[in-house]
Amino acid sequence: MRFPLAGLIVTAMLALCACSTHVSRSAFCSDVNAASVKFAALQSETTPPLIQGAAKAMAHLADEAPSQIQSAVKVEATAYEEWAKTGSNAPLTQNSFTAADDQLNTWLHLNCKGH
């Protein structure tokens, strides 16, 4: 099964507002890198608290993502939110999720070298 960000799952920070709060590319890359460690267990362990934490973190990253990838991060955040609510990871198998994941991973590969 594929997971968003190819294992670079988002940080565990909550969004503080519903408005867009873009951060620098470097800060976004650092947040994603930190999350890869925090949520790496989702590759093998899918406990409700871990899924809920990842969903909250995805919501935060969707808010702070650079404009070029914000819509892709929002698609992933929505999928994680649905997984947290229902317990089914089916949203992570949708074509829209896969396309968003591909877009995001390409951006990360091109923009987050050295993070």
Q: What pLDDT sits at residue 1?
A: 47
Give me the chain's average pLDDT, please.
81
- Reported pTM: 0.77
Residue 63 placed within a domain: yes
Residue 99's pLDDT is what?
A: 97
Q: Does residue 28 belong to any structural domain of this protein?
A: yes
The tens digit of pLDDT for each residue in 9-62 reads: 433 332 333 334 567 888 999 988 887 788 888 888 889 999 999 999 999 889
* Inside any domain, residue 15: no
pLDDT of residue 83: 95
**Does residue 16 lie within any of the structural domains?**
no
The larger pLDDT score, comparing residue 106 to residue 11, is at 106
32 lies in a domain? yes
Q: What's the number of domains the chain is made of? A: 1
Q: Is residue 17 part of a domain?
A: no
Question: Would you say residue 18 lies in a domain?
Answer: no
DSSP-derived secondary structure for 12-71: SPPPS-SS-----HHHHHHHHHHHHHHTGGGGT---HHHHHHHHHHHHHHHHHS-TTTHH
Give the residue numbers spanning the domain of 87. 4-10+23-111
Q: What is the signed CA dihedral for 28, 29, 30, 33, rounded to 10 degrees?
A: 130
Report pLDDT for 21: 58
CA Rg value for the chain: 13
Asked if 111 and 33 count as a contact pair (C-beta separation under 8 A), the reply is no
